[in-house]
Amino acid sequence: MANVFDLCFSRLSISCQATYFILFISLAQPQNIVDFKPSYLTATGPTVTALLLGNVSDISLNLRTVSPSNTTGSIGPPSCVAEVTQWVLTREQVGKTAVRVQLNLDKSLRLCGENESDTNCCPKPLCVLETLQVSVCVGGTPQASLLIQARIFALLLPANAGSENKTVIPNQVYQPLGSCPCDLTFGACDVRCCCDTDCSSEDLKLFVSHCLPGPFGGQVSPASDYQCSVQSLKNSPDWFPFLCVNSPPENNPYLGLFYQGYTITPEPGPSFQSPVSPAPVPVNVYIQGSPILTLNDQYFTIPQKLLGQCVNNAPVAFLKNFQVNCVTLLRSCPTGSPLRTLPTDLRIKVKNGPGGDVLVDVIDEVAFDLSQFISSTNAPSDEGLVCENVTLALDYKLYWEGNDITSITVTQTVGTITFNSSVALTTRYSAVFLNGELMGETNSGNPGYQVGRPVIAGIVDTLDNNTGLVQRVSISLWKPVSDGLCVSAEMKPILFGENSTSGCLLPVSRHNLTQCDLLRETVTSLQNNLMTATHVAKSGNPDPFTTTDWVNISFLTQNSSTTMEDSTNSCYGVPSHQHIHVWSLITGMVGGVPQRDICALQVRFQINFTEYDCNRNDVCWPELAFPITKYYTGEPYSQSLAKGLILVFFFITASILGTPWRQIRQAWK
């Protein structure tokens, strides 16, 4: 009977005294007695639910409509004879000793209209007023009953309820949706909302000069500045009457945002909340990019960078190599992970993929030269703070074969740091996936390149008996951060099919201009760091042992046609631009998808000159009047000359009618 008590306590809102009374009755009576909880209900909606508790193995439910006696006012005993009603009786077993009984009204609660012949509606606002009795019978003998007093009113639906027809959306090219956003109140005039159709002419007179401006006030297509009707005579410039345009309001650039119903997906703005990793999902096999899990179904994490910030607990993805540097300002000795990590914390078990696990093998190293880890520190003193066994680097090697992880090793580099008040510590974290002794490389397509994947480049290894093995390297662009200087800028790979432009700042002082050779070498070295490759892969999945899968990279340098000598305050021949051109073509179709291969890659170094040389500069001032010369062949010479003279005429007219000449005429008069 404990189950009966739990059901009563969790599903019914009754007092403690009633609970003890039910328990006492259940213990005193035989086990085959059933009872409704509650035994009386008042229904105000089309659904009624109650619980039947006890021995419910061989029972039957019967529903009928009852009415109180005219003399005594009581309801007759339960009956095992069912009647036809407007209710549907259903039952659901919720336990060994509990049944959920539910009644649903089989009738529409819509109020009937005038002279309506449909019977499935309510002729009066009080739609249902009756008393129902649900009887529980065992072998034709009533055992318990439930009384339901139904008092249900009809639903009052609006007169202009929406139909099932499809809504016709106007052509958004000329009529964008939401033409009056300030219309907030239905059936009433909103103050200062001049586009509100509920406002009468008398209402508009009260605030017609104070209408809400902009799109919120209904001006979703404001007139452009070039319209002749926009500028007034008082504020219009002198040239405005000659260049303004008379155009209908339908021809508006703002309507282009709604062209053909296309929507612009807003980019998410910056958030100050820390990212939350989703719950790990157990996997049966590792594939490229899937997170690696530990034996207790948690993410295998290594500190990584996310949105430019270092995250200590970042999941490691299968076959995704990375190397990051994290800078931490220390004012005291670290006590927790990852700067203070014990070898026992690194020796964890990781799922290998097919159902087993591998133990991380830890290799300890001690660093005595801390120049690559300590960026800045105060002058040391006798009272400096000494921090021992600080974790400086964690380098993971994950060996894999097929879809399995065979072993994992991590090299932990520790050292002793001494500082006075603070120190900027740079720690290194890396993970590489090795197939045997070869590093796992991510392809950029199969077989053709995919748009948005990195361009694969390499250099030929000529030390191994001239086997022609091509080692992969990257072609990168600058990715400036913080101050934008070249010394602190990171690099990002060149992506196939995406044009991009980047750069960085190189501070140059007057002292640098006295050492032009050193300045040229510095700039050249910075540009060479972006391009260390000599070959580029034709397809997205090249074979490092097949030289026909690679093409040579051509390097071009634009030299000066004349020899320029360096002066005291200027240096000539300094490289300023590095242009990388990638030529691709469609070589076939796979599954209806075009396959693109790279046929050539050219790197052009451009030298910036200060003289006006049209052959070596992007801007050529001497050719400003080229369209009206005889060398221009884009159209007949007579037409280009006539257009040039018309432009000169407008320029002279604007000058004569401008402000200076007008002031001279006024002073003369």
Average pLDDT over residues 417-423: 85
State the average pLDDT over residues 209-214.
81
The arithmetic mean of pLDDT across residues 430-444, rounded, is 74
The answer, yes or no, to whether residue 251 has pLDDT greater than 60, is yes
Residue pair 304/317 in contact (Cβ under 8 Å)? The answer is no
Lowest mean pLDDT among 131-140, 373-382, 529-538: 373-382
Count other C-beta atoms under 10 Å from residue 648's C-beta.
11
Local confidence band at 30 (pLDDT 50, 70, 90 cut-offs): very low
**What would the mean pLDDT of 589-613 be, rounded to a whole number?**
75
Looking at residue 26, its pLDDT comes to 33
Q: What is the pLDDT of residues 146-172, one digit of tens each?
A: 888 999 888 866 555 555 555 565 555
Query: What would the pLDDT profile of 39-58 be if each residue is shown by its tens digit?
Result: 888 888 899 998 888 888 88
Q: Which of these ranges, 5-9, 360-364, 524-528, 646-650, has the smallest mean pLDDT? A: 5-9
Cβ contacts of residue 142 below 8 Å, gap of 6+?
Answer: 77, 78, 79, 80, 135, 136
| pLDDT surpassing 60 at residue 585 | yes
Q: With 60 as the cut, is the pLDDT of residue 560 above it?
A: no
Find out whether 308 and 481 touch, Cβ atoms under 8 Å: yes
Pinpoint the residues of the chain covered by CATH 2.60.40. 35-153
**For residue range 183-204, what is the model confidence (pLDDT) as tens digits?**
888 888 888 888 888 888 888 8
User: What is the rounded (10 degree) CA torsion for 403, 409, 413, 414?
Assistant: 120
SS3 388: strand
3-class secondary structure, 51 = strand
Query: In the prediction, which pLDDT does 141 show?
Result: 87
| 399 within 8 A of 352, measured Cβ to Cβ | no
**Pairwise CA distance, residues 582 & 261, whole Å:** 35
The model's pLDDT over 277-323, given as tens digits with 9 standing for 90+, comes to 667 777 778 888 888 998 888 889 999 988 778 888 889 998 888 88
Q: What is the pLDDT of residue 168?
A: 61
Check residue 17 and give its pLDDT: 34
Summarize the confidence of residues 370-381 as an average pLDDT.
Answer: 65
Which tops the pLDDT comparison, 635 or 251?
Answer: 635
Q: Is the pLDDT of residue 140 over 80?
A: yes
Question: Is pLDDT at 25 greater than 50 in this prediction?
Answer: no
Question: How high is the pLDDT of residue 327?
Answer: 87
pLDDT in tens, 342-371: 888 899 999 988 788 899 999 989 888 887
Please tell me the total number of residues recorded for the chain in this structure: 669
pLDDT on residue 411: 92
Whether the per-residue pLDDT at 177 is higher than 60: the answer is: no
> Is 612's pLDDT higher than 60?
no
* The predicted structure's pLDDT at residue 563: 55
Cβ neighbours around 535 below 10 Å, total: 22
Q: Closest by alpha carbon to 63, among 101, 107, 99?
A: 101
The span from the CA of 140 to the CA of 152, in Å, is 32
Q: Give the model's pLDDT for residue 31.
A: 44
Rounded CA gap, 517 and 520, in Å? 5
410 has pLDDT over 80: yes
pLDDT of 10 > 50? The answer is no
Topology classification of domain 35-153:
Immunoglobulin-like (2.60.40)
Q: What is the pLDDT of residue 519?
A: 85
Give percent above pLDDT 70 in the chain.
74
Count the helices and strands in the chain (H runs, E runs). Answer: 8, 26
pLDDT for 619 equals 61
Residue 29 has pLDDT above 50, yes or no: no
CA distance 535 to 458: 5
Predicted pLDDT of residue 445:
83
Would you say 71 and 116 are in contact if contact means Cβ atoms under 8 Å apart?
no
In the predicted model, what is the mean pLDDT of residues 75-99? Answer: 87
As a whole number, mean pLDDT of residues 33-43 equals 85
pLDDT surpassing 70 at residue 21: no
Distance, in Å, from the CA atom of 520 to the CA atom of 506, rounded to the nearest integer, reads 12
For the ranges 69-78, 276-285, 331-340, 466-475, the maximum mean pLDDT occurs at 331-340
| pLDDT at res. 396 | 93
